Structure 1
């Protein structure tokens, strides 16, 4: 006699492994602020600015920002520690970080919960063209 067990179907509750915990959220906020702080250091020449900025970026973001002239970056200072805006999973989060030109949206990703957060996108406030 054979017995089959029904496979568990999808649930509306994420597994514990896919929920962002407080420590990971804090690390993500620190990564967002660190990246935006490096990005806003626009007084440096590209040769020293880019290595610092690119260390915080995902490969896609590095491609998008490579060649940016730091003199054209409008933000010059981070003004707060950021707040968590969204965390759809333990490997994706969005932070809102205050700057001297308004609030930036910083989207972060990581390949696994053990990996370091990397900035996937930096979106300036609507009033700022960069």
Structure 2
């Protein structure tokens, strides 16, 4: 089972468990072989693997993973130190997004050279997706300005918009803890509306 499917399955399972808990427990039993009457829940996966059809669980309900655990989806070692939004974090998120897009924006390179430069800037999940990209098909050649954070609802995830010679690109960067590096999860061109 691919990582995208496994991540979506986990979110769907978490939603189902939360839905059952929220609706209360029943002491009635059903005869063996009888299907339950619980409503079906469909989870739609985004490219990053996050489910979008239901509210996410409150992170404060869960305990932190033990130090040294490995995140199965990203391959990163989990650290117990929480992330906070401060100027240093924001600057690091922007720098990571710019570095990832800078490494991505080289259609003139041969594949091996391009991939060696890009891979260190990606999450494991992103690396599994971008490994199939042919750099010759990339329209962007250079960044034409500095990145700006446009979405920062979490201290662990940020979207950075960056102007390029091929138009605006948005780079989604994530980190697993306060001391973990920001890594690119998605690099996408954005068609801006005419002003």
Question: Could you say which TM-score interval applies, normalised by the shorter chain?
Answer: 0.7 to 0.9
Residue 143 (structure 2) pairs with residue 64 (structure 1): no
Shift of 1:63: 1.0
What's the RMSD between the two structures over aligned residues? Answer: 1.5
Corresponding residue for 1:14?
A: none
Superimposed CA distance per residue, residues 22-62 of structure 1 (whole angstroms, 9 cap, x where no aligned partner): 11110110111111011001111001100111110011111
Shift of 1:67: 2.1
Aligned residues: 112
Corresponding residue for 1:88?
A: 153
Corresponding residue for 1:50?
A: 115
Structure whose residues are more often strand by fraction:
1
TM-score by length of 2: 0.55
1:94 is paired with a residue whose SS is strand
1:30 to 82, 95, 104: 95
2:190 is paired with a residue whose SS is coil
**Unaligned ranges ≥5, structure 2:** 1-59, 61-81
Shift of 1:18: 5.1
Runs (4+) off by over 4 Å: none
Which of the two has higher C-alpha Rg? 2
Superimposed CA distance per residue, residues 43-95 of structure 1 (whole angstroms, 9 cap, x where no aligned partner): 11001100111110011111111121110101111111100111112111110
Contact preservation (8 Å) 1:87, 1:94: yes
TM-score by length of 1: 0.81
Corresponding residue for 2:184?
A: 119
